Structure 1
Amino acid sequence: MSTISPSEITRLQICLRRLLGSQGLTVNAPPRAGLSVELAVNGEVIGTIHRDDDEGEVSYNLNIVLLEEDLPPAKA
């Protein structure tokens, strides 16, 4: 995994807002080196984004964490 540049962060945010249909999504640079770029919805961090550069081909891996306590109640 390699570092995500400020330009890539902006481009990722534009792409994810379009793909997921939410202007409330933000892609946030890590507060310090070595930490992951974060994906947030309305200020709440829901996941991380990692950059992979394999033989010159760049891809981004998005890991979204959903806590069971945040799911709606199960129907009986």
Structure 2
Amino acid sequence: MGAMSSSEISRLQVCLRRLLGSPGLTVNAPPRAGLSVELAVNGEVVGTVHRDEDEGEVSYAIHMTVLEEDLPPAK
């Protein structure tokens, strides 16, 4: 997994906002080297984004975490 440039992070944010219909979504650079790029919605971190390059093709994988305590009550 490779590091992402600030240009990639910005372009990925534009793409994900459009794909997911969420203008409050942000892709945030890690605060220091070695940490993951974070995916947030309205300021709340919901996951991480990882860059992969295989045979010259670049892709991005999102790992999203939803806590059970954030789910609405069971009926």
TM-score by length of 1: 0.97
Partners of 1:40 and 1:65 in 2: CA distance? 11
Equivalent in the alignment of 1:45: 45
Match for 2:49: what amino acid?
I
Equivalent in the alignment of 1:26: 26
Partners of 2:26 and 2:57 in 1: CA distance? 25
**Runs of at least 5 residues in structure 2 that lack an aligned partner in the other structure:** none
Find the residue that maps to 1:72 and give its secondary structure: coil
Aligned-CA RMSD value: 0.4
Match for 1:18: what amino acid?
R
Partners of 2:50 and 2:22 in 1: CA distance? 21
Partners of 2:74 and 2:12 in 1: CA distance? 34
> What is the aligned length?
75
Match for 1:16: what amino acid?
L
Partners of 2:52 and 2:60 in 1: CA distance? 6
Partners of 1:33 and 1:54 in 2: CA distance? 22
TM-score by length of 2: 0.98
Match for 1:59: what amino acid?
S
Find the residue that maps to 1:47 and give its secondary structure: strand
Shift of 1:55: 1.0
Q: Hey, which bits of structure 1, 4+ residues long, moved more than 3 A?
A: none
Partners of 1:12 and 1:74 in 2: CA distance? 35
